[in-house]
Amino acid sequence: MPTTTGASAAHRTATTESAEPTGAAGPAATAGERADKAAHSVRELFGGRALGVPGTLLGAPAHPRPASPTAPWHYWWQAHLLDALVDAGLRHLDDPARAREFRREGHRLLRGITLRSGGRVTHNSYYDDMAWLLLAVGRLAGLDRALTGRPDVACLDAGSALLARLERGHTGDLGGGVFWNTRHDVKNTASSAPTALGFVRTHRREQARAVLGWLRSTLWNPERKVFHDGLRLVAAGSGSEVTRLDERLFSYNSGPVLGALLELADAPGTDEEDRADLLRAAADVVAGAAEEYGRERDKRPVLRTHGGGDGGLFSGILARYLAEAALHPDLPAAARRAAAGLVTGTADALWAGRREFDPAVDFSAPGTTASTVTGDTVAIFSPDPARHADESQRPGVPVELSTQVQAWTVLEAAARLARP
């Protein structure tokens, strides 16, 4: 398979051919084909057995894979990998064989997470981690229903166990909300928002309302229309609590709040006045996300990102729920346009800035920064949509799973918006 060679050739292909390569995922690639390329790339570069056990799947934390079997495996990264597999499965429902393939991989991943967690998905100290997995498992059960008519018992068991743990993290301490971890010294948006969405989806709507109410009264910044990170318990004594507001802002914190507001608005039993309030709040979240987490690239809006590590997932999570907002018929048109613009602008930028190569060739070797082959290449996506992968993710430097799942999630969100 021919590849370019030399530094000048690598730069030339990075700025021309890599942005619009030939082949099945070339210039005329549809949004679905772009998402398929991301799905193939993540599975090819990161997928493997959990602890070598057949019938399991786990995403390696990086490519190339760490040599040590005790390297961190990042439970919550796997939860978002599972969500992306479900996205792909649902997108391919008109091709049942492809959809079943993604469903099988989803169940293999759930088994891998369970195994790597020591045999229980609840063997975790962080409520936000478990909330993300609850959401992904619930969606996997939905894919089961779509393909087989009923959810797999593994999803039901995992979901039930996770929900029970999350309910223990939702207390009246610090005024409400959900604790971040089992030390019970922080309540934050990161744990409260996905838990609220999980409560909506499991028909615990009063609990969801309570968590959303706490978020809006405690962590919402009404001027900037975004959520602060959390509330930390500094000291306690004589029945009084001393707390400190963590004012940091992260893009993903707006995402599941947006999803919870929209789904609660559409839930049976929500009256018209309450529904209108929830939709107004959702429109405010979109406006705040556009202002705080958006920026322009080539005169189009793209999402700001938060680098690598855990932050490598943040804006992909926001994009998932912005797509839901863009498709909601009862949100104001301006909010729907802003949400759609951020998703499609970010997806287009990530796609244009990708680096493709032949996985049979060492990707750190000269000439593999971009490929002109028409075969089954894989793609590396930039952690920052405003920068090309050749700049932000240099050849030879390990690529983190989080940043690539983020890109896959954004491309799935854009594919959802592109469907008739």
Mean pLDDT score of the chain: 90
β 230-237/186-188 pair status: antiparallel
pLDDT of residue 28: 58
pLDDT of residue 27: 53
Q: Is the pLDDT of residue 151 over 80?
A: yes
46 and 146 share one domain: no
Last residue of a domain, one of 102, 136, 169: 169
- Tokens linked to 363: 């990707």
Burial (Cβ within 10 Å: 0-12, 13-18, ≥19) of residue 70: exposed
- Tokens linked to 166: 């999350």
Instruction: List the one residue out of 232, 218, 219 whose CA is nearest residue 183.
Output: 232
Higher-scoring residue by pLDDT: 17, 175: 175
- Please count the other Cβ atoms lying within 10 Å of the Cβ belonging to residue 93: 12
| 350 within a domain of the structure (yes/no) | yes
Q: Is the pLDDT of residue 235 over 90?
A: no
45 and 124 share one domain: no
pLDDT for 292-343, tens place per residue?
999 998 899 999 999 999 999 999 999 999 999 999 999 999 999 999 999 9
pLDDT of residue 401: 98
Rounded to 5°, angle at Cα 336 from 226 and 215: 25
- The one-letter code for the residue type at 120 is R
37 and 88 share one domain: no
Rounded to 5°, angle at Cα 377 from 375 and 378: 165
pLDDT class of 242 with cuts at 50, 70, 90: confident
154 and 88 share one domain: yes
361 and 406 share one domain: yes
| 198 within a domain of the structure (yes/no) | no
33 and 146 share one domain: no
pLDDT for 93-133, tens place per residue?
999 999 999 999 999 999 999 999 999 999 999 999 999 99
Contacts (Cβ under 8 Å, ≥6 apart) of 250: 190, 229, 306, 311, 314
Domain membership of residue 353 as a residue range: 12-18+29-50+294-420
417 and 299 share one domain: yes
305 and 415 share one domain: yes
pLDDT of residue 237: 53
147 and 41 share one domain: no
Q: What is the mean pLDDT of residues 22-35?
A: 70
85 and 123 share one domain: yes
Q: What is the mean pLDDT of residues 176-185?
A: 96
Q: What is the mean pLDDT of residues 50-66?
A: 95
43 and 151 share one domain: no
Last residue of a domain, one of 169, 196, 213: 169
pLDDT of residue 137: 98
DSSP 181: B
pLDDT class of 395 with cuts at 50, 70, 90: confident
Residue 230 has φ and ψ, to the nearest 5°, of: 180, -175
Burial (Cβ within 10 Å: 0-12, 13-18, ≥19) of residue 153: exposed
Indicate the pTM of the whole model: 0.90
Q: Half-sphere exposure of residue 385, counting CA atoms within 13 Å on the CB side?
A: 32
**CA separation, residue 336 to residues 87, 231, 241, 285, 340 (Å):** 21, 31, 41, 12, 6
| 164 within a domain of the structure (yes/no) | yes
43 contacts 376 by C-beta, under 8 angstroms? no
Last residue of a domain, one of 108, 142, 169: 169
